[in-house]
Amino acid sequence: MATLPATGFGPLSDIRVIEMGQLLAGPFCGQLLGDFGAEVIKIEPPGVGDPMREWGREKPHGRSLWWPVIARNKKSIEVNAREPEGQDIIRKLVAESDILLENFRPGTMEKWGLGYDELVKINPKLVMIRVSGYGQTGPYSSKAGFGAVGEAMGGLRYVVGDPSTPPSRTGISIGDTLAATFACIGGLMALHAVKRTGRGQVVDSAIYEAVLAMMESLVTEYDAGGYIRERTGAILPNVAPSNVYLTRDDRYILIAANQDSVFKRLAQAMGQPGLAADPRYATHSARGAHQAELDGIVEQWTKTMDADDLAKLLDDSGVPCGNIYRAPEMLEDAHFKAREAIVKVPHPVFGELRMQATFPKLSETPGRVSSCGPQLGEHNDEIFGSLLKLSESQQQDLRLRGIIGQRRREAA
């Protein structure tokens, strides 16, 4: 591991990560590492920064509300990686780090003289995490690949949505974050291997493969049985009752009562215990065969009650259920509060921002959100001066030629 002062929290407090790349697929991996104490130094183009700084439908005070989350717990420095002297600075950082994380199109790092074969000469223990659309090898590797394309090729888009509509998206950038999550796991496994072998390695995380990994038995079902999964909307075919049902106050509640014993409890709560003995609904297979009509019976009942009262009745009856939450419901929910699933983080403009906490929860070395995303170049002085030991005259020369960013007090 790199020699650096511990951050004071988390199991990764002795790890230094250099984050290159932009937008979501790479930076979410950096966010996960930073959430558990790693020192994550994000390299951004001087004066420009990561495009994610400008993302978001709502931008109060002209500020992105994506950036405080995706760049939390990170440090920002400005280095022009396209110039030889900027590449030399990155090499110096590599010598002092454990992980280099990047999500450029394959071949970009090699074009800059920063491929793994070159960097491992500087630091034999370096773990290089590479996130891309199609991976570092294969006929598609050089193609531009965004998360949406990976979701399509990985099989997710085809099965998401209602059968009456074209393939849908999930509403979040799930392809990017899945690839980033697998990249994080791979990076930590590679670091563990360094302890045994003394050698680093490349972690190659492709978006389409990360999505494919989550597709359950989709491929095997076709291979062995010729079955192709189709879009089914809110249900799983032949699994009933397990659906989203409308309530009297025009809200939706999800009820999952497909197991025999649970369905008996649901029928009792509905005041219709005879449903559990009806041959059409008495077994899992029978309920699946009569899925649509059973869902109709259940919704006819749910529409007689308000969502909150219905949820309490089902909870008391031991029937798994859940209201469909948006952000407002999450912020008011007692369970979210008790588990501190959402935390308040200080912000220089907003005062504080609420965002999701770190997950999973570790009993002895938990993660935490200690800072929102930094301003561009906020840590230039610290990294260039204190870590890399560049003299003030060296820094000033590099600043004047656009190789590194301005001093923090000049950029603020």
Cα separation, 112 vs 114, whole angstroms: 5
Cα separation, 367 vs 362, whole angstroms: 7
Task: Give me 144's structure tokens.
Answer: 């531009």
| CATH T-level topology, domain 16-214+343-411 | Rossmann fold (3.40.50)
Residue ranges of the domains in the chain? Answer: 16-214+343-411, 242-331
For residue 32, what pLDDT is reported? 96
Pairing outcome for strands 127-132 and 351-356: unpaired
- Are 376 and 51 in contact by the 8 Å Cβ rule? The answer is no
For residue 145, what pLDDT is reported? 81
Q: Is 14 a catalytic residue?
A: no
| Region for residue 354 given its phi and psi (left: phi exceeds 0; alpha: psi -120 to 50; beta: otherwise) | beta
Of 237, 236, 256, 261, residue with least CA distance to 245 = 256
Structure confidence by residue, pLDDT tens digits, 149-186: 888 989 899 999 999 999 988 888 999 999 999 999 99
Instruction: Give the pLDDT of the chain (412 residues) as one tens digit per residue.
Output: 444 444 567 899 999 999 998 888 999 999 999 999 999 999 999 988 998 898 876 677 778 889 999 999 999 999 999 999 999 999 999 999 999 999 999 999 999 999 999 999 999 999 999 999 999 999 988 888 888 888 898 989 999 999 999 998 888 899 999 999 999 999 999 999 999 999 999 999 999 999 999 999 989 999 999 999 999 888 888 899 999 999 999 999 999 999 999 999 999 999 999 999 999 999 999 999 999 999 999 999 999 999 999 999 999 999 999 988 999 999 999 999 999 999 999 998 889 999 999 999 998 899 999 999 999 999 999 998 889 898 899 988 999 899 888 876 444 4
For residue 208, what pLDDT is reported? 93
pTM: 0.89
- Are 152 and 165 in contact by the 8 Å Cβ rule? The answer is no
- Which residues in 159-234 belong to E strands, given as ranges? 202-206
Q: Which of 176, 309, 333, 397 is catalytic?
A: 176
Structure confidence by residue, pLDDT tens digits, 361-407: 998 899 999 999 999 999 999 998 889 898 899 988 999 899 888 87
Residue type, 318: G
Is 242-331 a CATH 1.20.59.20 domain? Answer: no
Cα separation, 72 vs 354, whole angstroms: 12
Task: Give me 204's structure tokens.
Answer: 């190659």
| Region for residue 155 given its phi and psi (left: phi exceeds 0; alpha: psi -120 to 50; beta: otherwise) | left
For residue 58, what pLDDT is reported? 65
Q: Is the peptide bond before 51 cis (omega within 30 degrees of 0)?
A: no
| Secondary structure (3-state) at 224 | helix
Q: How far are the Cα atoms of 73, 111, 190, 212, 268 from residue 114, in angstroms, in the given order?
A: 25, 7, 19, 29, 66
Supply φ then ψ for residue 210, to 5 degrees: -65, -40
Listing DSSP states for 367-411 in one string gives -----PPPPTTTTHHIIIIIIT---HHHHHHHHHTTSBPPPHHHH
Angle 377-374-113 from CA coordinates, rounded to 5°: 50
